[in-house]
């Protein structure tokens, strides 16, 4: 029996299917076992039929079955697929060799899976800086709008007439 080859697990975005990875799978097939998995309700996979509240674990479980025999896994995921991939990575850390995520939507997921991890802390710091910058930009925009309203009021012909009337009445 030959040496085991690594598995590349590909998980698509919410608005796609495993078909988005056909070209990548064809390129990697000679060196890797490529598994492109459909999320519930996408591609070849029907909608979730479970009871209760649907979770990321529910989404990940059938995908994890596809990699049960793999000892070395590389994760490739897009958007919501990255959330599912991170869940899988958290449950199979010793088997994960690499992760490549495109447009990941993972903020809360990473913090829940790896609280206090240096990567989590770094991403949270970037997020916090971005949110602070956005709030500062909003504050500046609001101040600029208020300044513009004040200038328009000061320049309004009606204001000028009103000021003259007040001045005339005072004399």
| CATH code for the domain of 28 | 3.40.50.1820
Does residue 94 share a domain with residue 51?
yes
- Please list, residue by residue across 64-83, b when 16 or more beta carbons sit within 10 angstroms of its beta carbon and e when fewer do: beebeebebbbbbbbbbbbb
Name the residue range of residue 24's domain.
Answer: 7-115
Q: What is the pLDDT of residue 8?
A: 97
Q: Tens digits of per-residue pLDDT, 7-23? A: 999 999 988 999 999 99
- DSSP code string of 17-70: -GGGGHHHHHHHTTTSEEEEEPPTTSTT------SSS--HHHHHHHHHHHTTT-
Tokens 């959330």 correspond to 83
Threshold 0.75, pTM exceeds: no
Does residue 109 share a domain with residue 37?
yes
Split into its structural domains, the chain has a count of: 2
Specify which residues 8 forms β-bridges with.
34, 74
Q: Tens digits of per-residue pLDDT, 118-165? A: 777 777 777 787 778 777 887 777 888 887 888 777 766 665 555 555
Does residue 69 share a domain with residue 103?
yes
Res. 76: pLDDT tops 90:
yes
């Amino acid at each position: 029996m030959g040496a085991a080859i690594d598995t590349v697990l590909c998980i698509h975005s919410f608005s796609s299917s495993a078909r988005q990875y056909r070209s990548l799978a064809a390129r990697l097939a000679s060196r890797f076992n490529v598994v492109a998995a459909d999320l519930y309700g996408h591609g070849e996979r029907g909608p979730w039929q479970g009871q209760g509240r649907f979770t990321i674990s529910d989404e990940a479980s059938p995908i994890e079955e596809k990699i049960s025999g793999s000892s070395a896994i590389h994760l490739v995921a897009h958007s919501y697929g990255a959330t599912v991939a991170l869940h899988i990575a958290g449950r199979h850390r010793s088997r994960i060799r690499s992760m490549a995520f495109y447009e990941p939507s993972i903020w809360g997921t990473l913090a829940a899976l790896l609280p206090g991890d240096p990567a989590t802390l770094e991403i949270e710091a970037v997020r916090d800086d971005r949110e602070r910058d956005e709030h500062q930009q909003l504050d500046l925009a609001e101040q600029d709008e208020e300044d513009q309203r004040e200038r328009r009021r000061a320049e309004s012909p009606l204001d000028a007439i009103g000021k003259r009337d007040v001045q005339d009445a005072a004399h």
